[in-house]
Each structure stands twice: as C-alpha cells, then as structure tokens.
Structure 1
Amino acid sequence: MKIGYIRVSSKDQNEDRQLSKLKSLDIEERFIFIDKASGKNFNRPQYQAMKQVIRKGDLIYIDALDRLGRDYDGIIREWRHITRELKADIVILENKTLFDSRKFKSMGDMGKLMEDQFLSLLSYVAEQERKKIRKRQAEGIAIAKANGKQFGRPKIGLDTLSTEQRKILHENYGKWKNKIITGVEFMQMLGLKKTTFYKIINKYQPQNVS
C-alpha cells in the first residue's frame, strides 16, 4: 500500500505543493497524513497515526528528508524503525536516487552500511539547517527588541481603551460605584475580562478620563 506523509512547520503554511506531488503518485487521500508542526521531535499526531497503519511491504512517500524531521538522532531512529522493524519502505522524493530504502535492501548488509552513511549525512544537514533557522529567529527578535518592538500579548490599560470604552467608563463608573449596575454588567459593557476590568477600574480617576 502507498502512504504519504506531509509536514509543514506551522498552521499558516500551505501543504498544497506537497499534497499535489503525493496525489500525482496515485496515493489515496485517506492514506496521506498531514501534520502542521515543528520538526524538532516526532510527537506529532498524524505521524504517530501513520505509524499505526504501516504494514510490512508498504511504501511511504515523503517530499524531503526535513519533512520527516529535523532532529539528527530522531530521523535515523525513525527511518530504521520503519524500514527494519515495520518492514516497510521509504522514498524521499526530493532525492529518490539516494533515498529509496528498497535499493538499499536489495544490496544486503552492504546496503545497510551505505544507507546508514547517507542517512547520517543528510540527517546532519537537516539538523544544522534547523539550528540556523533558530539562530536567525533569535537574531531577528534581538534586533526587533533593540528597535523597540514589543513581543507577546499587548498590555491593556487605561491608555489603550478606545474612545467608546472611555465614554462608557466615564458615564457608568458612578452607577457601578453606587451599585446601580453590577461589576459583571459593567465589564460586559466595556467588553473586558474580569482581571483586566478590575486592573483598570482600580487605577481609574473619573476626572482624568473624558
């Protein structure tokens, strides 16, 4: 049976290119497993689901080795598990001249040695690329911070309220203070969560907000 595996690094990335390539190999869509996750480890739901359906003689197609993963030791471990324990085969479409486990199996023990050498080399390259990506990301964040860019959730305070929220706060603060409206009603009017509401209300000075 033909099986396809696709991995993209995040929910924002598109898997269509890989999917089109696998469909062109006449792989049924129900046997194409897609993860939107980092390649740093193999605890991915669809990857683990795929391993559960693999049977002896199956053929797994993957677009590129780094789509399998970016962890040096993990790639080697998973490749050996699939090809030598589950008795299935893997074809890496980007470099199928070298990475078609069927070719190595036909060469016996010498094939295993050659496969291990090629796999170690390409896995090392994949891991180094992951490290370079992380380094570039860290450098980019450092530069952005140096330029004053803020990361994480934006802080919500009096100065971030909209004009409409300020008006509602001003007009209803006294009603809340005199228990004409409840805190729940007031925070719903402002569109704020409880923690944020009380953080703002505790700093609010009616005469300072128009």
Structure 2
Amino acid sequence: MECKEFGYARVSSKGQHEDRQLEALKEYGINGRDIIVDKESGKDINRLGYLSLKNNMLRSGDTLVVKELDRLSRSKADIKNELEYFKQKSIRVKILDIPTTMADYPKGQEWVLEMVNNILIEVLGSIAEEERIKIIRRQREGIEAAHKKGIEFGRPNIKKPENWDEVMCKVQSGEMKIVDAMKKLGIKKTSFYKLKKMYLVKVAD
C-alpha cells in the first residue's frame, strides 16, 4: 500500500480562520482532500477531526504534517504522548515551523534528528502550554474585572412588564386567556413562564 501524507489544521473557535495553515500545507504539497480541520480548543486531543485522522486514516509509513506544534495540542503532556504514539506506529510527524522535523538524515544517523527534535519539542511544548495558561488567566481576570464593574454575562434578565399584576389578575380570575395575556404583556411564551415562575403566580393552563 502506498504511503500517504495527511495535513492537520486547527483553530480554537468557529470565528477564527484556518486559511494561513491550509495555505502552508497546500504549498508544502498536501492535497486539499487530505487535510483535516478542527475548530476546537487545543486544551486536549478530544477533537472529532483529529481523532478520526489518528484512528481511521493514518497508517504505518504515512506522514502527518502540521504547520505549528501547538496545532496538535497546547498541553505539553499531550504533545509528548501523541508524538510517542506516532513514533510507535511508524507514522512520521513533520512540523513546517520546525525545519529539523522536515529533514531526512542518512541511514544510521536518525538518532541525531530525534535528539534535536526532542529538545525543540520540549521547549516549544512548554511555550504552548504556558500560552494556554496565560489565555485562561487573562479570561479569568477579564471576567473578574467585568463583575467588579457590574457587568453580568449570559442572557439578560427578563424585565417585569409594568402591567404584569393587572394582566395576571385577569388571568387568575378567568377574564383573560394566557395567550391573550402574552399579547397584552408584549412577551413571548418562554418569557411569560419564566416571569410566572419568578413571581410565583399561580396560573391555570
């Protein structure tokens, strides 16, 4: 069976673009149909595209190409584990931004390549993990600062309509149906029942 080269690209969210990575992989020579893309965090390896590539597509003798080391993961432990897994499966990993991983050493001197790569991957893996820790810390500090300013996250609270009590009295007395009450209050069904629950108004459906 002919050995193949697959490309892998990852961005952390759907709002980000993988164009830069795809361009680099295609420029290297990877066919577009052999490039797998994930739009998920690099905090771990539990990504649908990556796991499918790893478990179902890559075979012994194949090559996995990524633009940057942290596209595999931002966890140093995961990076080491994945690279060791590929090594055991005789799957070569090439990282476009680490030139030594692209080189072909003479037979018998592969240990030189492995030694250099291990040093680089150790350093870059630590940087990737530290960057993830910084991102998490910045997010937490941002949320804490926003809370101090009175900014709340999530969906805004539903404001109680000024005519709520008047309308609900008519609903309770049977003078008005719930569907008409919602129109009178100017709110949708979901908001109506949330307000009903908040103000503990007993309404017969």
- Aligned CA distance change for structure 1 residues 152 and 104 (closer, same or farther; 3 Å): farther
Match of 1:190 in 2: 187
Q: CA deviation at 1:129?
A: 1.1
Q: Within 5 Å, which residues of 2 pair with 1:99-114?
A: 99-100=101-102, 103=105, 107-114=109-116
Alpha-carbon shift at residue 145 of structure 1 (Å): 1.7
CA distance 1:179–1:201, change in 2 (3 Å): farther
Matching of residues 70-85 of structure 1 within 5 Å: 70-82=74-86, 84-85=87-88
Cα deviation, residue 174, structure 1: 5.4
Q: CA RMSD in A?
A: 3.0
Q: Percent identity?
A: 33
Contact conserved, 1:105 with 1:112, CA < 8 A, in 2?
no
User: How many angstroms apart in 1 are the aligned matches of 2:106 and 2:38?
Assistant: 28
Segments of 5+ residues of structure 2 without an aligned counterpart are none
Aligned match for 2:128, one of 108, 126, 131: 126
AA at the equivalent of 1:190: I
SS at match of 1:24: helix
Whole-Å Cα distance in 2 between the matches of residues 132 and 42 of structure 1? 19
**Greater share of helix:** 1
Equivalent in the alignment of 2:100: 98
1:177 maps to a residue whose letter is Q
Deviations 1:104-147 (A, max 9, x none): 98633444333322221111111111111111222222222222
Cα 1:14–1:104 shift into 2, 3 Å: farther
Which residue of structure 2 lines up, in the alignment, with residue 57 of structure 1? 61
- The 1:35/1:153 distance shift into structure 2, 3 A limit, reads same
Secondary structure of the 1:94 match is coil
Write the distance in 1 (CA, Å) between the matches of 2:150 and 2:49: 39
